[in-house]
Chains A and B, each alone.
Chain A
Amino acid sequence: MHELSIAASILEIAEEQARAHNACSILRIGVCVGALSGVDPESLAFSFQALQIGSMAEKAEMVISMVPIEAVCKQCGPVQMDVEDVSLFCPVCGGVLEVTAGKELQVDSIEIE
């Protein structure tokens, strides 16, 4: 359940930015979560709901965008894969793939008023 501390960090970042812009409340927080980041979006949303009470983001909606895993083979190009079955060897040539997306854990945008 490290999602609780992740949610606390998200709230902290959002409140800091909101205060820096002299906002009185946060309406929406856009977060992107990579499929390989080790963060579960459902428990992140649940943790956030528990923490937002009494904060500047009390009424805010947290919108989580999942980033799928993307890997690329130097010889054969991009390879799609599911987090349920990660294999970082190219299915065509057997070469080692480089992960190019899916490890993100970022606060993208904040809507304030």
Chain B
Amino acid sequence: MSQVIAAKTNVLQANAEAAAANREAFRVRGLKAINLMSAPGAGKTAILETTIRLLRGKYRLAVIEGDLQTSSDADRIRALGITAYQINTGNGCHLDARMVQRAFAELPAEQLEILFIENVGNLVCPAAFDLGEDFRVVVFSVPEGEDKPKKYPAMFNKADVVLINKIDLLPYLGLELGTLQQNVQAVNPRALVYPVSCRTGEGFDAWLAWLVSAVAL
């Protein structure tokens, strides 16, 4: 005799529960967590380095780094005098909430105001996994092409902020910043879009102004 059960269960329920626990842990400690996502090579670590140089001494910061292999990203952050915890996912293409939960336990949580979580470079898989972050920031760099947001709508649709990085390369690539911005807005009309360049420092004032106001919320 067969029987049909109406399950109606969110496939990512276990992750959602761990994410909710993370969110509560961040809230009770009064810190804001930022999940930073992009394709490989879009400049997440470079953006963190520049951001840390500008915020260091004003806020208590820490970074959780997610990579398949190596600790080179965490080493770059530690070189700036900031605590960094490296998660190596092996072949895993994204961070999940349980990995962040374990990493967070290793950090001096009581002393933190901002926790950056640099996800594995990948525009597909990390979109599906809530880490318990307060804000989702997606980095999209100019050389990736102007239609990137339209190719990865699931990722861009969930972003609170989109940083368009490497804008110093616009003249060499013959791309219009306006078109890039429009393509982000098309898949996410509510996203705040900040064009930046880690090379020149252009645009970091606006991004940091948002960050400072977001942390104060």
Contacts and interface: CB of A to CB of B under 8 A. Distances in A.
Contacts of B13: 9, 13
A111 B4 contact: yes
A106 B155 contact: no
B186 to A, nearest CB: 4
Nearest to B91: A1
A111 B3 contact: yes
Interface stretch (B123-131, B132-140, B194-202): B123-131
Contacts of A31: 11
A9 B155 contact: no
B209 interface: no
Given A38-B125, A88-B187, A109 B12 contact: no
A31 to B, nearest CB: 7
Contacts of A97: 189
B189 A112 contact: no
Contact of A9 (B6, B11, B124): B11
Given A38-B128, A110-B4, A87 B11 contact: no
Interface size of A as a range: 35 or more
A106 B186 contact: no
Given A27-B2, A108-B6, A112-B5, A13 B124 contact: no
B8 to A, nearest CB: 6
Contact of B188 (A23, A88, A111): A88
Q: Is the interface of B mostly helix, strand, loop or mixed?
A: mixed
Contact of A87 (B1, B93, B186): B186
Top 10 A-B pairs, shortest CB-CB distance: A2-B125, A38-B154, A86-B153, A96-B189, A113-B2, A87-B186, A107-B7, A38-B127, A105-B11, A107-B9
Interface of B: 1-15, 92-94, 96, 124-125, 127-129, 150, 153-155, 157, 185-190
Given A106-B9, A111-B4, 7 more contacts: A10-B11, A17-B9, A86-B186, A87-B187, A106-B11, A109-B6, A112-B3
Interface of A: 1-2, 5-6, 9-10, 12-14, 17-18, 21, 23, 27-28, 31, 36-39, 83, 85-89, 96-97, 99, 105-113
29 contacts: A2-B93, A2-B124, A2-B129, A9-B11, A9-B14, A10-B11, A12-B14, A13-B9, A13-B13, A36-B154, A36-B157, A37-B154, A38-B124, A39-B128, A86-B150, A88-B187, A96-B189, A105-B128, A106-B8, A106-B11, A107-B7, A107-B8, A107-B9, A108-B6, A108-B8, A111-B4, A111-B5, A112-B2, A112-B3
